[in-house]
Structure 1
Amino acid sequence: MAELLSPPSLQAATIDLPDGRSLAGLVARPSEFLATLVVLHETSQDLDQGAGLLGAMSDNELRMLAIDRPGHGLSGDARDDADAEAMLRAALDTISDTRQRPLVIVAIGNASPLAWGLTSHPAVIGLALISPYIGGPLPRLSPDLSLIAFVPQNDLRSVEDWGKLRRMAGCRWLGVTMAVDPIAMLDPNGFALSQIAAHLAGFTREITMHHAVAMPIAEAE
Structure 2
Amino acid sequence: MVLLSVLDHVTRAMLVRRGVESRFVETPVGRVHVYDASGQGAAPPVVFLHGIAASSAVFAPTLARLRKQSRRVVAVDAPGHGLSGAPWVTLGPERLFEALSYVLDHELDAPSVVVGNSLGGAMALRYALRSPERVAGLALTSPGGAPVEDPEECERFLRGFVLSNVRDARDFLGRLNHAVPWYGPLVAPDLVRIFKNPSVRSILDGLEPKHFFAPGELASLSMPIHVIWGQSDRVIPPCCLGFFKENLPPHTVFLEPEGIGHSPHTEDPKAFADFVLRALERAS
TM-score (norm 2): 0.60
1:144 aligns with 2:218: no
Structure number with the higher helix fraction is: 2
Higher mean C-alpha deviation, range 34-43 or range 133-142:
133-142
Give the Cα–Cα distance (whole angstroms) in 2 for the partners of residues 163 and 131 of structure 1.
12
Q: Give the drift of 1:141.
A: 4.7
Single out whichever of 56-65 and 118-127 deviates more from structure 2: 56-65
Quote the residue 1:113 is aligned against.
122
Query: Contact between 2:146 and 2:244, CA under 8 Å: does it hold in 1?
Result: no
- Identify if the C-alpha distance between structure 1 residues 135 and 21 changes in structure 2 by more than 3 Å, giving closer, same or farther: same
Matched, 1:128 2:139: yes
In structure 2, distance between residues paired with 1:127 and 1:20: 25
Alignment RMSD, CA only? 2.9
User: Runs of 5+ in structure 1 lacking a partner?
Assistant: 1-6, 209-221
Give the structure, 1 or 2, with the largest relative contact order (CA under 8 Å, sep 6 or more).
2
1:91 alignment partner in structure 2: 103
| 2:99 partner letter | M
CA distance in 2, matches of 1:13, 1:52: 16
Partners of 1:79 and 1:26 lie apart in 2 by: 24
Q: Secondary structure at 1:194's aligned position in 2?
A: helix
The 3 A distance-change label for structure 1 pair 182 and 10 is farther
Residues 1:200 and 2:279 aligned together: no
Q: Which whole-Å deviations, capped at 9, do the CAs of 1:50-80 have from their partners, x for residues lacking one?
A: 2223244363334221110122122241533
Distance 1:163 1:11, change over 3 A: same
Q: Map Cα deviations across residues 32-57 of structure 1 (whole Å, 9 max, x no partner).
A: 64312111111111111222232443
Report what 2:4 is aligned to.
Answer: none
Aligned 8 A contact 1:57 1:198 in 2: no
Distance in 2 (alpha carbons) for counterparts of 1:19 and 1:161: 32
SS state of the match for residue 32, structure 2? strand
In 2, are the aligned partners of 1:110 and 1:134 still within 8 Å (CA)? yes
Q: CA deviation at 1:147?
A: 1.2
Distance 1:61-1:127 versus aligned 2 partners, 3 A rule: closer
Aligned equivalent of 2:233: 155
Note the 1:1-221 alignment, pairs <5 A.
Answer: 9=18, 11-17=20-26, 19=28, 21-30=30-39, 33-57=42-66, 59-76=68-85, 77=87, 78-80=89-91, 81-97=93-109, 101-119=110-128, 120-121=130-131, 122-136=133-147, 137-138=212-213, 139-155=217-233, 157=236, 159-170=238-249, 172-182=251-261, 185-187=264-266, 192-208=268-284
Give yes or no for contact 2:29–2:99 (8 Å, CA) kept in 1.
no
SS of corresponding position for 2:80: coil
The structure-2 alpha-carbon separation of the partners of 1:133 and 1:93, relative to structure 1 and needing over 3 Å to count, comes to closer
Contact in 2 for aligned 1:142/1:171 (Cα 8 Å): no
Q: CA deviation at 1:106?
A: 0.9
C-alpha contact 2:141 2:262 (8 A) present in aligned 1:
no
Q: Deviations over 1:90-137 (max 9, x none)?
A: 11112222xxx3111111123222221111223112211113334533
8 Å CA contact 2:233–2:262 kept in 1: the answer is: no
What is the TM-score normalised by the length of structure 1? 0.74
Counting strand residues as a fraction of each chain, which structure ranks higher? Answer: 1
Aligned-residue offset at 1:86: 1.3
Aligned residue pairs, count: 196
